[in-house]
Amino acid sequence: MRKEFSQAVEKLAQQDDSIVFITGDLGYNALENLQQKLGKRFINAGVAEQNMVGVAAGFAHKGYQVICYSIAPFVVYRCLEQFRNDVGFHKLPVYLVGNGGGYGYGIMGSTHHALEDLACLSSLQNVKAWVPSFADEVAPFLAEITERKGPAYLRLGAGKQTPDGARRAGDFNILLQPGNATLTVFALGPIANNVLEALKKVDVPVNLVTAVTFPFRLNADIRALVSQTPDVLVAEEHVSTGGLAQQLSVQLLENGLTPGRFRSLRAEGYPNGLYGSQAYHQRLSGLDADHIAGQIMSFVSQNA
């Protein structure tokens, strides 16, 4: 999604002189177009993420919209206090952009993984996060962020293209909605691609919904979808605490919706103490297409 992101920023910056882009010394072979087009509005803050966000807050206070870019764990965890105090409390238009959400940086290990980022940021006052599942969602989500002009986080990964027929439903996208589904699957970010692959392996009609923003609210479309199916499965490359499953379960209960079964597939950390590729960690957490397919079939067999 880096290519789509840089193209979207370039277009926005050419239309709006208030856009400033700051990178924490990342973006080689990906952001050169922005450096060329933005000129003085492109700033390399170096390996100093806390200072980067402080500088961004200063620019934002003077009327600029500032995009702060790094890999997800660096732009979230290293400067959480600065983002909370300097940006969030003052409702400033500073937008954190984290590349490689979840296990995206694979073999580089836990220091380069972002498994708790949404829990951290969606709990802060005035902050809203966007999580694209597919590459073609990056540009419209960035447009929503700049239109809102408030503290924001954009979590990038590696996704394909949105399947035909998808439609927006408030804070969610409904990708599949067959008439005879008995299971609703909620997916977070590019894990939706794994769910789509899983559905190719099993001939089972399910509703498939992706979470777009954090925190979120269940609108009438999503409430109706869940009420029509007895079971819910959640798949996310994020820890369960503060993630999609936990926030969704609270929303369901508050809306009087009680699924017959509620199952959560989530990032399990490092159960064997080893590091590997993103696909390796997804397999260990049961987030690969084969395991997801097995989970879907287990719901079906129990309903038979």
- Convert the pLDDT of each residue in 172-198 to its tens digit: 999 999 988 999 999 999 999 999 999
What is the architecture, at CATH level 2, of domain 167-303? Answer: 3-Layer(aba) Sandwich (3.40)
Say what the pLDDT of residue 147 is: 96
Lowest mean pLDDT among 2-16, 106-120, 212-226: 2-16
d(CA 208, CA 196): 9
pLDDT at 33: 87
pLDDT value at 304 more than 70: no
**String of DSSP letters for 101-141:** -BTTTGGG-GGG-BSSHHHHHHTSTT-EEE--SSGGGHHHH
Cα 153 → chain centroid: 9
* More confidently predicted of 35 and 70: 70
Fold equal for 2-155 and 167-303: yes
Six token digits for residue 253:
């209960």
Find out whether 44 and 25 touch, Cβ atoms under 8 Å: yes
206/178 Cα distance (integer angstroms) = 7
18 pLDDT more than 90 = yes
Q: What CATH code would you report for 2-155? A: 3.40.50.970
- Phi and psi, residue 110, nearest 5°: -60, -30
Name the percent of the chain lying above pLDDT 70.
99
pLDDT of residue 25: 86
For the chain, domain boundaries: 2-155, 167-303
How confident is the model over 277-301, as a mean pLDDT? 95
